Structure 1
């Protein structure tokens, strides 16, 4: 959820009443910080509603992917609607992505922290990008034959060879 209005953090500090009044007509305020990551200011009720909605969506996803009869439909219809790039994944990898997404969503929901989900999705998106590019796919799947030996520790002198 990205708030509709953005103000500089200094506006909150210097004009706190008028800045906070923006919450009356907006779901939140994005506070831009020059020397750090932006912040979002919203009401507790809106925040808790957002968290409950995300949690419900995770549980819905988990339930759908656990149903054997629905698994193929979820893969073929729902995932490409949410993540169009899954069409580049071979069928077995689509199933693996769905299973990992459901498992991680369940685990994340159980601790109330979904921060690992974007990392998983990004990793699978990169995998899809590799499958989408035949040259890159061929290079990354090339057999190189012999092992090239140990890699020295960073900063260690290279062995004479």
Structure 2
């Protein structure tokens, strides 16, 4: 069995559905390219449930390890650069904050069965690391601009 999915045009699924769906017997997923929209991934319900079970188990194990021993957070901080090389650009305090937020966001996302918040959080932290990796950009974004103009009004309240 292939570990990577096959790819076809969405029209192939519509026009040759039995032959196209038969590909799922040999591949865990089928990437459907769409001309007028975002590509889709098709998989079996059993495979989706398996993937969800694996992600949930890994999340629960990571969260449990992070809470168990006093040294476990140090271990997590030690392995983060292997999983996310860009954390090397974060200040030490931010790396610790990232680790805590990662574990807690993963736990919360697992509890509702939706990992979108984890993906969003990872992208946000990676962008933060990118800013820290560029001294000129960091200086420009952290420079005191003087007067604070207060909170930005909610766009729904502006006519």
TM-score (norm 2): 0.87
Are the structure 2 counterparts of residues 71 and 17 from structure 1 closer, same or farther at C-alpha, using a change threshold of 3 Å?
A: same
C-alpha contact (below 8 Å) 1:79/1:86 kept by paired residues: yes
Measured on the aligned residues, the alpha-carbon RMSD in Å equals 2.3
State how far apart, in whole Å, the 2-side matches of 1:48 and 1:75 are.
30
C-alpha contact (below 8 Å) 1:3/1:30 kept by paired residues: no
Q: 1:75 aligns with which of 69, 74, 77?
A: 77
C-alpha contact (below 8 Å) 1:5/1:30 kept by paired residues: yes
Q: Which residue is equivalent to 1:112? A: 113
Offset at residue 4 of structure 1 (A)? 2.3
C-alpha contact (below 8 Å) 1:65/1:98 kept by paired residues: no
Number of residue pairs matched by the alignment? 154
Bigger radius of gyration, 1 or 2? 1
State how far apart, in whole Å, the 2-side matches of 1:152 and 1:105 are.
31
1:85 correspondence with 2:113: no
Return 55-64 or 83-92, whichever deviates more: 55-64
Offset at residue 84 of structure 1 (A)? 0.4
Are the structure 2 counterparts of residues 152 and 37 from structure 1 closer, same or farther at C-alpha, using a change threshold of 3 Å?
A: closer
State how far apart, in whole Å, the 2-side matches of 1:8 and 1:37 are.
12
Are the structure 2 counterparts of residues 79 and 23 from structure 1 closer, same or farther at C-alpha, using a change threshold of 3 Å?
A: same
List alignment gaps of at least 5 residues for structure 1: 157-161
Are the structure 2 counterparts of residues 87 and 39 from structure 1 closer, same or farther at C-alpha, using a change threshold of 3 Å?
A: same
Offset at residue 95 of structure 1 (A)? 0.7
